[in-house]
Amino acid sequence: MFTVTSFWFKLLGASPAELTVNSSKGGSVVLTEAVYGKNNDGNFYNLLGNALFTDVEWVTFTNSGKGNVRVDDIGTPAAVPLPAAGWLMIAGLGGLAALRRKRKAI
């Protein structure tokens, strides 16, 4: 399972140029030439926070018009590992506990 947060697209060629994006959760987005224009530098589409594109099994990009469609830079968030700072903090607390025990023994 994965999450799609964003993508770049460009509509080209014959009218009407149109891109349809569907997900396994029933999400559907239709991006049309009338809204985004065509034969330009492309557009960035943000899906961040859209539950229908979160934890999906598949996503399809379909050219549902007569023109050409280009899709690139599909954004998916990377897994966030426990940073090394967490382990350093645990080691520091352990060191402070050891110093405290040593002081009590003296």
Q: Are 46 and 104 in contact (CB under 8 A)?
A: no
Nearest partner of 1 among 74, 76, 65, 62, judged by Cα? 76
| 3-class SS of residue 10 | strand
Other beta carbons within 10 Å of 19: 25
* pLDDT tens series, the chain, 106 aa: 889 999 999 998 888 889 999 999 999 999 999 899 888 888 999 998 899 999 899 999 999 888 888 888 788 776 666 677 777 888 889 988 888 887 776 6
Domain ranges of the chain: 6-79
| Burial letters 22-46, b for 16+ CB under 10 A, else e | bbeeebebebbbeebebeeebeebe
